[in-house]
Structure 1
Amino acid sequence: MADEKERRHQHFLVVAYGAQSHVNPARVLAHRLARLGGADDGSILATLSVAVAAYCNMFPSLDATTDGVISYVPYSDGVDDVSLPRDIADRARRRRASSESLSGIVASFADRGQPVTCIMCTMVSPPVLDVAREHNIPLAIYWIQPATLLAIAYHYFHGYNELITSHANDPEYEVCLPGLTRPLQIRNFPSFFIDVSGTERAKAFIEVFQELFEYMDLWRPKVLVNTFEELEPNVLAEMKQHLDVFTVGPMVRSPMETQIHLFTHDNIDKESYMEWLRAHPDESVVYVSFGSLVKFSKHQIDEIVGGLRQCGRPYLLVLRRDGIEDDQSHSLVENTQSQGMVVDWCDQLEVLSHSAVGCFVSHCGWNSTIESVVSGVPIIGVPLMFDQPTNIYLAEKEWEVGIKVERNSDGVLTGKELARCIELVMGEGAEAKVIRERANVLKEIVQATSDTGGSAERSLRDFVKTIQES
């Protein structure tokens, strides 16, 4: 019996980069893994590990080690703040410190009789590669972006890098990549693959991605992708020829599950904006949020607020104080007219799930994009960096559930353009009706995928089985 218990025991250590866009899907994955083992038998354990700085934001009291489903443990990068590495030497020091800290966590679990049987990382984490090799633990890559981004990254490092970088300054140039249904314009590539500025940050992105794909070529780890077959069938079929891919998405928590916020958010604020939403008719509210990283100038905030007022529809605007370059600009919207409500942060999934929301003006990070798809809410894309240009391309051209705004020659989203896009999506024109119909169709597909016993759960069980047998 003891041998049987040991054979069934699985412990997944999920290591997430300390940003909201990584923590959210990592926590959902850890929860789903733990629940595969059943409520009481303990056959599958899951632990989420984030850097100390993120852990302190998640749990200010520092006394939360479990939520009853998964456990949490911080690791140290030797700095333990939110700063980015200054240079190559600083990056190397932080990698060593992170590797040592994570290695200590793995050893500690082994000493407690809960050995880690698989270590996972969100996208790219060189320290996790180090620890997997040191302890001879199976590694899985958790690709928290769409499969299309996985294909772009894979082919960039397998023969297409020179073609892409040589046309980085030609936004209209089209590149044909295997698995994509149509040529992709340079403007729609992830920003880190067309950044030829030569800065330390640009070089660091390419170096860590290159190391990851070299590792995958050599060791062929399992790759879990936060998408589902019906969303990206062609590109998934292509990538499965090169990598051991498991589609486990959409990795979106249930609206009934609690959310961990890295930004100030309390129940008093939540009740206030939810009560405001409840006072509005179905599909009447414009929800606006640009994620956790972007900062806007006073002029850009003026244009956004002006466009929202111009369109004449009620709006809920998320505007973080630390996301504004000039704090005085916050006074422009803090005491806005009755048409709109402005909040510092919100429970986005609960807002999107509310029947009053008719469209989502978003930066189009993958979490926001997939939450919009899950909720059946059309999206108006204002991409800025990273994977965002590709995500809105998918939403607009491949799935037809949204549109992309056009900035002016100074790179500013004007109020007039924003109002035009809102009316195009929320109005009664033919295009608006198609977008809303497509959004509802995808929502129904997602529900079937996400149901108990659906394709997402089956794929995750298949992944766990491969780890058990390895």
Structure 2
Amino acid sequence: MDNTAPHGHRVLLITYSAQGHINPALEFAKRLTRRRIDVTFVTSLSAYRRMGKTPTLPHVSFASFSDGYDDGFKQGDDINHFMSELERRGSQAIKDMIVAGVEQGQPFTCIVYSILLPWVATVARSLHLPAILLWIQPAIVFALYYYYNYGYHDIIQSASADPLATIQLPGLPLLTARDLPSFFGSSDAYEFALPIFRRQFELLEQETNPMVVINTFDELEHDALRAISKFNLIPVGPLIPSEASSQCDLFQSTTSYIDWLNSKPKGSVIYLSSGSMSTLSKHQKEEIARGLLSCGRPFLWVIRDIEEVNTLSCREELEGLGKIVPWCSQIEVLSRPATGCFLTHCGWNSTLESLVCGVPVVVFPQWSDQGTNAKIIQDMSETGVRLEVGMDGVVKREEIKRCLELVMGDSKKGEEIRRNVVKWKELAKGATAHGGSSYSNFKAFVDQVCP
């Protein structure tokens, strides 16, 4: 592929090897190419192999490097060793790519990198290249991680341990423990991430004009985007693909559900997915199954390990009412008229996709930023409701039915949610349309970084 753009600008874009990171990073790459910039899209070999056939995108080339875990990170692996090897091997690989570009007479103009990879900024600095962070979570979460590391550690730590506590931080809405990122919890298995975020902020503070490109839009997070004044947060979202064919899925999908979905009445189908990383217990899946049967509406349910379907006691009844698939094109499903509700783990990509596609949601956050995303959906955009978890950590079938009926039924609350969905669909799409807030921010960003 010809990597020489008309303006001679090339961007090296590096992303962490998870579906939730790859999706917005790839969409950001596509938007750069529309500004006549060539992009080299880089992730680790384990993810690159799982992509299968990468999409053919003008002025986007794909590259990979070995992080020492070429078959992917497995349960039981040492997460600290994995992150250490990712940094060690990745730093050398990125350095080699940058040097090769110079030697070939096609130097990179700058580097863009997603979260959990602060070492990329260190590599860029050593080679005198500007590095821009692509923050793929909401601005509220960015501010929370900053406050946790600068001035509010004890307050946030205390609030995260008390379910009844509320916390008010500058520029942010009133939050409770369940609204905070799970990494703040002392027992979270992914507490390794907190030092990485701290290092990220330390690197940003060393820059004279720290810029952070963020996957959100001003109409949704106006105050949070301005909460940390020392950083220039540039909202360019929603970074959502306009068509499914331009995505890089790490999971094999099927199209068998499309005709089935198209055969259903408008707004009648419940779509359920817990994303690419979250897993639900057998007990929880059983409760969801019973809740769906009690609700009696057609459904499309993504269960990544399809063998788990056979463990459900009501499998035959489920197959008579809906469809279960191991993976699907989510943006395609949410765009279909038949889809009337999205029961989601509330990953940030899924949250934004629900807004762009105009689908009401029932949120069931699991970890990381998902509790904060659920807060945004329920209390800020008011486009969905949150499931209440029982004392045993399981959401019961009655609660699942209650929330699904609330969102899809004829109650005043349901009608209000559906009106809000229409409003936010227009706002989300308007942000990236010509002249919209994110469109203008992105144009100004490109003009500054790649003049």
TM-score bucket (shorter structure) = over 0.9
Q: Is the 8 A contact 1:381 1:404 kept in 2?
A: yes
Match of 1:71 among 51, 55, 61: 61
Match of 2:42 among 49, 64, 80: 49
* Corresponding position of 1:339: 321
* Corresponding position of 1:156: 148
Match of 1:416 among 376, 398, 416: 398
* Corresponding position of 1:431: 413
- 1:189 has 2:173 as partner: no
Shift of 1:409: 1.1
Shift of 1:330: 5.9
Deviations along 1:308-367, one digit per CA (max 9) or x if unpaired, are 111011111111117x7x574268537833321111100000100111111100000000
Query: SS state of the match for residue 231, structure 1?
Result: helix
Query: SS state of the match for residue 340, structure 2?
Result: strand
The residue type equivalent to 1:222 in the other structure is M
Aligned-partner Cα distance in 2 for 1:453–1:388: 30
Aligned-partner Cα distance in 2 for 1:464–1:251: 16
Superposed, which structure 2 residues align to 1:459-470 within 5 Å? Answer: 459-468=441-450
Long gaps (5+) in structure 2: none
- 1:174 has 2:166 as partner: yes
- 1:249 has 2:237 as partner: yes
The residue type equivalent to 2:62 in the other structure is Y
Aligned length: 445
Query: SS state of the match for residue 338, structure 1?
Result: helix
Distance change >3 Å, CA 191–CA 334, structure 1 → 2:
farther
Shift of 1:110: 2.1
Shift of 1:440: 0.4
CA RMSD in angstroms comes to 2.1
Superposed, which structure 2 residues align to 1:46-445 within 5 Å? Answer: 46-59=39-52, 67-83=57-73, 86=78, 88=80, 91-180=83-172, 182-192=173-183, 194-197=184-187, 201-202=190-191, 204-219=192-207, 220-239=209-228, 241-255=229-243, 257-265=245-253, 269-270=254-255, 272-321=256-305, 328-329=310-311, 332-333=314-315, 336-445=318-427
Aligned-partner Cα distance in 2 for 1:251–1:87: 29
Q: Is the 8 A contact 1:395 1:401 kept in 2?
A: yes
Distance change >3 Å, CA 437–CA 7, structure 1 → 2:
closer
Q: Is the 8 A contact 1:285 1:358 kept in 2?
A: yes
Shift of 1:296: 2.1
Q: Is the 8 A contact 2:94 2:123 kept in 1?
A: yes
TM-score, normalised to structure 1, is 0.90
Shift of 1:303: 0.8
Aligned-partner Cα distance in 1 for 2:343–2:81: 40
The residue type equivalent to 1:227 in the other structure is T
Q: Is the 8 A contact 1:363 1:383 kept in 2?
A: yes
Query: SS state of the match for residue 337, structure 1?
Result: helix
Long gaps (5+) in structure 1: 38-43
Distance change >3 Å, CA 228–CA 74, structure 1 → 2:
same
Deviates more, 1:328-337 or 1:208-217: 328-337
Aligned-partner Cα distance in 2 for 1:53–1:223: 27
Q: Is the 8 A contact 1:334 1:342 kept in 2?
A: no
Aligned-partner Cα distance in 2 for 1:435–1:279: 25
Deviates more, 1:343-352 or 1:255-264: 255-264
* Corresponding position of 2:34: 35
